Structure 1
Amino acid sequence: MIAWLDNESNSFPAIHTALKEPNGLLAAGGDLSPARLKEAYRQGIFPWYNQGEPILWWSPDPRCVLFPEQLHVSRSLRKRIRKQDYDVSFDTDFEAVVDACAEPRANGDGTWITRAMKGAYCDLHRQGIAHSVELRIDGRLVGGLYGLAMGKMFFGESMFSRETDASKIAFVLMVEQLQNWGYALIDCQVSNNHLKSLGAKEIPRAEFKRYLNKYLDQTSGHDWVFNPERLSFGETPR
């Protein structure tokens, strides 16, 4: 059995009580208010559900993460990045990035980014917590991603690609920027081959929680503006 949340309190059950099957399912119900979402991420919990379902809250074990200094860029991707025939920006069109991430995938799967989810993350964006990365070619938005920045942690939510490697380029340049800003960890939530190819790996949930405890309350001290001057653009880290 999992806990059923109400709208009176933003508290969650302890993450170690999450189910093993399906992996990480912790609770259902509640709402997507900014206060509840911020508390969820602070505890290592995120929402993920389909249209027509109650809100489902997850904390899987193990957890997929990327340490910025362990970013892996393949030779072919490095060559593509070096061409620099694109423009990268942060936070110039958050809503368009979320809409693009919500588009149906080539494999025919539906979207889990419901209208309520979009509204919730747009609220967090207005509070300066949720951020987007945009990749444009000839002025056309072709790739990007969005997530939350809290302390020295970045919580990735979703990415999209309308051109080959567009989301990977956006991700690589964001990771390099975060590394320059001193971020300790990027939460990727659940592992897949796309993330593993970029250097993501799984760590125990308890270890992930220790990173939350250590880095969430550290101040970042930067504006969310893409600054390419100190980036390697996929080259061997400095």
Structure 2
Amino acid sequence: MRRRPFLLPPDPDAPFPSPEHALRDPDGLLAIGGDLSPQRLLNAYRAGIFPWFSEGQPPLWWSPDPRIVFRTDGVHLSSRFRRWLRGCDWRIRADSAFADVVAACAHSPRPGQDGTWITAGMQRAYCELHRLGYAHSVEVFDGERLVGGIYGVAIGRMFFGESMFSAASGGSKTALSALARRLAGWGWPLIDAQVENPHLLSLGAESWPRSRFLAETRALVGQPAPVGAWTRSFGTMAAKELAAVRPP
């Protein structure tokens, strides 16, 4: 008999099933239903699970195998792009335009995708996590224009990336590289990138067995780290600083 995803009960604190029970087809589908309350979302991320569904669907919860991750000291920028950065006057900040970054990610066209999984309800849920100090954005500005960004969820010393966008060529990889640079400086070793695509692999992402990812996640989410806005701790970074980052 074909296995089916676990049906989540209404209680937002109800535990998720073990990711080892996720389906192989579609890869990583684990559970269905529930809501996007802060409690449920944080419980999911702590367990290596994330929501991903389209408008009109119930929440779908995933833990794919393999899992795509970045080492924070391993984001690769090409020599050509680093040369371009040396003359770039972009500035990078954190948590100064969270809702704008999420909205831009929601409206960015994706090759092979019709519509977005970042629904209005999803946007509200992550803005609430941001208000509570768990969701963060890194923003790239050309003057006052937002030209790139990335957002995700931080628990302990683990960052779970959700989405990124470019409104100018190189905006998203600048945001990713800046995020990785700051996290590495803080002693955070990993960024979850969820599922594989060629662009992520070209930037240095690695494919890990789910078991390895879950073991690392369990250790990192339990480590102490401040909860709250990153605006002051991240500061303002000049994009040209990233030109000195060497490829792994």
Q: TM-score range by the shorter chain?
A: over 0.9
Runs of 4+ aligned residues of structure 1 deviating over 4 Å after TM superposition are none
Indicate whether 1:171 and 2:171 are aligned.
no
Contact 1:88 1:226 in 2 (8 A): no
- Give the superposition deviation at 1:221: 4.8
- Which secondary structure state, in structure 2, belongs to the residue aligned with residue 70 of structure 1? coil
What residue number does 2:9 align with?
Answer: 6
Equivalent-residue separation in structure 2 for 1:134 and 1:70 (angstroms): 20
- Number of residue pairs aligned between Structure 1 and Structure 2: 236
Indicate whether 1:226 and 2:231 are aligned.
no
Indicate whether 1:91 and 2:95 are aligned.
yes
- Which secondary structure state, in structure 1, belongs to the residue aligned with residue 15 of structure 2? coil
- Which secondary structure state, in structure 1, belongs to the residue aligned with residue 243 of structure 2? coil
Aligned partner (choices 15, 20, 29) of residue 16 of structure 1 = 20
What residue number does 2:59 align with?
Answer: 55
- Give the superposition deviation at 1:175: 0.6
What residue number does 1:136 align with?
Answer: 141
Amino acid of the structure 1 residue aligned with 2:170: D
Equivalent-residue separation in structure 1 for 2:192 and 2:175 (angstroms): 16
Pairwise mapping of residues 18-57 of structure 1 onto structure 2 (< 5 A)? 18-57=22-61
What residue number does 1:121 align with?
Answer: 126
Amino acid of the structure 2 residue aligned with 1:177: R
Aligned partner (choices 192, 199, 203) of residue 194 of structure 1 = 199
Deviations 1:146-176 (CA, angstroms, capped at 9, x unpaired): 0011111110000011111111111111111
Indicate whether 1:205 and 2:210 are aligned.
yes
Equivalent-residue separation in structure 1 for 2:140 and 2:69 (angstroms): 23
Runs of 5+ unmatched residues, structure 1? none
Aligned partner (choices 56, 65, 74) of residue 78 of structure 2 = 74
Equivalent-residue separation in structure 1 for 2:133 and 2:125 (angstroms): 13
Contact 1:172 1:234 in 2 (8 A): no
- Give the superposition deviation at 1:131: 0.2
- Which secondary structure state, in structure 1, belongs to the residue aligned with residue 244 of structure 2? coil
- Give the superposition deviation at 1:232: 4.6
- Give the superposition deviation at 1:23: 0.4
Q: Report which structure shows greater RCO (CA 8 Å, sep ≥6).
A: 2
Amino acid of the structure 2 residue aligned with 1:79: R
What is the aligned-residue identity percentage?
47
Indicate whether 1:151 and 2:156 are aligned.
yes
- Give the superposition deviation at 1:117: 0.4
Equivalent-residue separation in structure 1 for 2:131 and 2:158 (angstroms): 19
- Which secondary structure state, in structure 2, belongs to the residue aligned with residue 234 of structure 1? helix
Equivalent-residue separation in structure 2 for 1:106 and 1:173 (angstroms): 22
What do you get for the CA RMSD once the two structures are aligned?
Answer: 1.7
TM-score, normalization by structure 2: 0.90
Change in Cα spacing, 1:160 to 1:236, as seen in structure 2 (3 Å) is closer
- Give the superposition deviation at 1:104: 4.2
